[in-house]
Structure formats: structure tokens, C-alpha cells
Amino acid sequence: MSFELNKILGAVLAAMMLAMISGIVSGILVHPTKLEKPVFAIEGVAAAPAAGGGAAAPAGPEPIGALMASANADNGKAKTQQCAACHTFDKGQPNRVGPNLWGVIGDEIAHDRGGFAFSTALAAKGGEWTVDKLNEWLWKPQNFAKGTKMTFVGLAKPQDRADVIAYLNAESDSPKPLASLGSAPAPAAAPAPAAAPAEAKPAEAAPQGEAKPAN
């Protein structure tokens, strides 16, 4: 009897050790992709001096702060035809492939939307949806949150993004005056997105002499 028990215990112990070892080995082999944030930070910095510094890669969308005040929600609504396969926009409508977007501006990114299962790529972003972040997101979703489930190519035209954001603003319990959504009028001192963590790295990417720190 007790000999049988020993054999069983031995087998259990061996199995546990095997599990532990494979855990350690997979920990060594599989690296979590932690690099995403710094990469994003570089984009934010590259976008800021877009007016002057040429050499930097065109890594970010054109800022749309100056366009917001005169953005047209009706045009934006028309543009959201291409979102409608995946999204609903009115209050109380169901989620589809993507979540219902009522009141998304100012809401937390990938926050609870009727139980919608967000990707970890988007959920890991944190913070709330500002005009600046929506500008980046709608420009190229995969660029904003690599690995996102939103398989949408993006809105290339700044005016389209501004109009769609104006429509998103209207689809809310508390729409804001459009002028208040705009950031700095001139691209000269475009404010870096508040959420972009300035991880010291941006200095490498920026051309010499334009060491403007992101705030």
C-alpha cells in the first residue's frame, strides 16, 4: 500500500518539477513585448517638430487641434459608414465586431463597454480617449496599439479624422464645444500627447539641436 503511495507521490513530484522547469524555460524563450510604449513615445516626439526637422521619419499623424473648431460632425457621420460594419454609435446600441462608441471621448481606453472583450494590446494603453489619442488611433490603429483587434486601415486625411471625432463628440451625453476640443492652433508648438512617457529614448531619434523634451 504505502509503496504504491510512494510511487504516486513520486510521479506527482516529478510532474510538478517538469511543470516548473518548462515554466522557467518558456520564461526564457518568450519575451513579453514591452517595447511598445517607448516606440510610441518616439512617434509623439517626431510629430512635434514636424514643421522644422525634416530628417525624422513620418512616424505620426498630422495634428488636428487646429481643425477641431471648424470640424463638421455631419461630414464625420458620413465618414463613419466605413466604421458601421463593426461599430454602433448611438446610445444603447449593441456591440458588434467592435464596441458601441457612445460617449467614447473622455472615457477610459478599452474600458467596460457592455462586456466587450478588448484586446490586451488596446487594454494595455491606459488613460482616456482624448482628441490627440483618437487622432493617432484613427490615423493608424495598428500603429497606436500594435496587435489591436481593430483591423481597419485608418483615416489618412486629417480633415476626415477631425470630422469623425466631432461626430464621436456629438454621440455622447455631454458633447463639448468643438473649439474646446482643439489643442494648440499652430503646429509650431504642438503639445506632445500627455500620455506619451518620455523614456529618455526620444533624444536618440531626434536630430541634433532639437532636444525639446516631451512633457
| Cβ pair 67, 182 in contact under 8 A | yes
String marking each residue 2-41 x if it binds ligand HEC according to CB under 6 A: ----------------------------------------
Q: Which of 70, 93, 119, 180 binds ligand HEC (CB under 6 A)?
A: 119
Query: CB burial class (10 A; 0-12, 13-18, 19+) of residue 86?
Result: middle
Per CB under 6 A, contacts with ligand HEC among 160-199 are: 164
- Give the count of residues interacting with ligand HEC (CB under 6 A): 27
End-to-end CA distance of the chain: 70
List phi, psi (to 5°) of 21: -65, -45
State the cell numbers at 96.
Answer: 458588434
Per CB under 6 A, contacts with ligand HEC among 35-94 are: 80, 82-83, 85-87
**Alpha carbons 140 and 189: distance in angstroms, whole number:** 23
113 binds ligand HEC per the rule CB under 6 A = yes
146 binds ligand HEC per the rule CB under 6 A = no
Which is closer to ligand HEC, CB of 48 or CB of 113? 113
| Cβ pair 182, 90 in contact under 8 A | no
Which is closer to ligand HEC, CB of 45 or CB of 100? 100
State the cell numbers at 180.
Answer: 474646446
| Cβ pair 61, 136 in contact under 8 A | yes
Q: How far is the CB of 36 from ligand HEC (least distance, A)?
A: 13
Tally the residues of the chain. 215
144 binds ligand HEC per the rule CB under 6 A = no
Interface residues with ligand HEC (CB under 6 A) are 80, 82-83, 85-87, 97-99, 101, 104, 109-111, 113, 118-119, 121-122, 138, 148-152, 155, 164
